Amino acid sequence: MTLLDIIKAVLVDLDRGTATDTVSMYTEKFTAYANEACQEIANRFKACREEEVTLDSASSFDVTTLTRGCARVTRVRDAAKVYDYYQPVHGGTVVIVRDADPGASVVVEYRFIPMSMSSTSDTPDLPAYQHALIPLYVRAREQCGQDPRTQGTASAFFSLFNSKIADLEREARAMPDSFKLDNYHFD
């Protein structure tokens, strides 16, 4: 689903038509709403990516070198070991990996911030099965803004958006290790 598909789906749902001038009139606003939806979905699903990085001479790396924005590092590992890591400055961008050799390559798993869509040919930076949620959010945002007569309908679409996310969260789409308890030891 492209951004243009999302915009047109919302316009059809609102009975505003999909003429070229109508689409262009709503593109900027609906693009902002669609990007908000992507961020909300990524937050709810704790969307993650993995990337290989090379540690510097202090056995650290900078999260700004990752291909997506990094909301949180969740794991650092190589083929043999999962490493402890920390950020020396709360909210800083440098992550120090304990017991790793300087210059070593490690895989960083992190919660990412989806890339923003700007062109109508862009697709959301989320799995395809989540794309259908975006028009619900865009419609809700459109209806909660200006006209007091449509604000009640907005809450219905926010509820629908949230219930569809909850339905997807309950499905078994997770990896088996997401069900294990970390840091739990029997004595």
**128-142 tens-digit pLDDT:** 999 999 999 999 999
Distance CA(93)–CA(65), nearest Å, equals 9
Q: Could you give the 3-state DSSP secondary structure of residue 96?
A: strand
What pLDDT sits at residue 172? 47
Give the CA diameter of the chain: 68
Distance CA(29)–CA(141), nearest Å, equals 10
**pTM of the predicted protein model:** 0.81
**8-33 tens-digit pLDDT:** 999 999 999 999 999 999 999 999 99
Contacts of 109 (CB under 8 A, 6+ apart): 48, 49, 50, 73, 74, 75, 76, 77
Strand order in the sheet with 60-62: 60-62, 94-97, 85-86
Q: Could you give the 3-state DSSP secondary structure of residue 113?
A: strand
